[in-house]
């Protein structure tokens, strides 16, 4: 056993689809949950990761051995009507798996323990798991379905067969930064709050709309189109893809992040595929094509663009230096571009935040030229 059960928590199990059974202790909600078991190699940032809507449908394994030692920030602090220290309004993961849970936390900004927060959000969690062994298994065999079993059993089910984007997207349009310029139409496929903050920081107006919103209905005037991150298989978002195709036909300025990269590629006529175990970390090296630059980037995705299927006029923009998978695309002439990583960080490095300025620069140029 990796961790002494000092608090006498209930023993529970993590069960994988290949029959592997791992026993540990509960420190979250007293319930069972199923999902896709994925790992994140970041050392910090669990409040941001756990509230990232891209994790919808997934059981998150944190590879850093000690988790919970700095607690959870206050949820009362708001910025632009959003929780200041989180990436959405609630925990998005289905469950949490860690090696050693710190029952004692200490941080100037902590308002509660990780266990208290999990219980409030009705999310189960298990500690005492050999996460190193588990991560090696997921790397060798690929991402697997799994379940955290408290008392009652639950069935395994592939969350990627559901339209997860529809589950996490807002239902009605919301406007931030009224009076700002330029006006950016943001298609919310499960957007992280810090993306909105980055636009507002730069004086833009943000019109946040649902994933399937008819953006060309004339109800909201905008100068540039942004397609957000989000969970699951991009091919589930047929209506979003159709909207992007129309934006391409209208030659609007387009920028996408993460799932937005995959959706732009599909709208352009390229293909996407599922990665063996995905990229979920804060230190993925991405080389910019045609340059000698390599950026360290935060990432969270399980699907990728097949760069070999890009149609004429489209080229790879960034490439992962570890496994050579696509990390961004752009059009050689038109103002259309997207990236697979997260320039807004939260958590992770902000080395590529300048890409927001690049996008807004293209929008302003288009506004000036009419």
Residues taking part in catalysis: 258, 342, 344
Q: Which residue has the tokens 């998978």?
A: 325
Strand 66-67 vs strand 100-101: parallel, antiparallel, or unpaired?
A: parallel
What span, in angstroms and rounded, lies between the C-alpha atoms of 201 and 63?
33
Residues linked to residue 327 through DSSP beta bridges, in sequence order: none
Q: Which residues contact 58 (CB under 8 A, 6 or more apart)?
A: 35, 36, 37, 38, 93, 94, 159, 231
The DSSP H or E segment spanning 343 is none
φ, ψ of residue 350 in degrees (nearest 5):
-110, 30
At residue 62, the 3 state secondary structure works out as: strand
For 145-167, letters b (16+ CB in 10 Å) and e give: bbbbbbeeebeeeebbebbbbbb
* Helix, strand, coil percent content, the chain, rounded in steps of 5: 25, 35, 45
Q: Could you check whether the bond before residue 347 is cis, i.e. omega within 30 degrees of 0?
A: yes
CA 193 – CA 202 distance, rounded (Å): 15
Q: Which residues pair with 35 in a beta bridge?
A: 146
Query: Contact at 8 Å (CB) between 267 and 227?
Result: no
């Amino acid at each position: 056993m990796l961790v002494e059960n000092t608090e006498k928590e209930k023993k529970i199990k993590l069960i994988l689809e290949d029959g592997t059974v791992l026993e540990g202790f509960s420190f979250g909600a007293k319930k069972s949950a199923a999902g896709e078991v994925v790992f994140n190699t970041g050392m910090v940032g669990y409040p941001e990761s756990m509230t990232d809507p891209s994790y919808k449908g997934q059981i998150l394994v944190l590879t850093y051995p000690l988790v919970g030692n700095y607690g959870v920030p206050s949820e009362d602090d708001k910025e632009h009507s959003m929780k200041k220290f989180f990436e959405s309004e609630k925990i998005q993961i289905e469950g949490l798996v860690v090696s050693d849970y710190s029952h004692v936390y200490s941080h100037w900004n902590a308002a509660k323990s990780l266990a208290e927060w999990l219980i409030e959000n009705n999310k189960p969690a298990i500690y005492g798991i050999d996460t190193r062994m588990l991560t090696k298994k997921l790397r060798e065999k690929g991402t697997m379905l799994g379940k955290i079993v408290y008392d009652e059993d639950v069935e395994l089910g592939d969350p990627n067969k559901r339209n997860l984007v529809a589950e996490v997207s807002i239902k009605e349009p919301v406007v931030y930064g009224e009076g700002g310029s330029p006006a950016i139409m943001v298609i919310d496929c499960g957007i992280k709050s810090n993306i909105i903050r980055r636009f507002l920081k730069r004086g833009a107006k943000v019109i946040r709309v649902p994933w399937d919103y008819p953006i060309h209905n004339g109800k909201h005037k905008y100068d540039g189109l942004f397609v957000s991150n989000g969970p699951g298989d991009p091919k589930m978002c047929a209506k979003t893809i159709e909207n992007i195709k129309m934006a391409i036909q209208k030659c609007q300025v387009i920028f996408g992040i993460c799932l937005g990269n995959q959706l732009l590629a599909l709208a352009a006529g390229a293909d996407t595929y599922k990665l063996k175990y995905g990229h979920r970390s804060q230190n993925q090296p991405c080389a910019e094509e045609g340059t000698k630059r390599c950026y360290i980037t935060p990432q969270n995705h399980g699907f990728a663009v097949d760069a070999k299927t890009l149609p004429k006029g489209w080229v790879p923009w960034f490439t992962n230096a570890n496994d050579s998978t696509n990390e961004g695309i752009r059009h050689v002439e038109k103002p259309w571009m997207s990236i697979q990583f997260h320039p807004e960080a939260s958590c992770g490095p902000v080395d590529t935040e300048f890409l927001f300025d690049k996008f807004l620069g293209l929008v302003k140029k288009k506004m000036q030229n009419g």
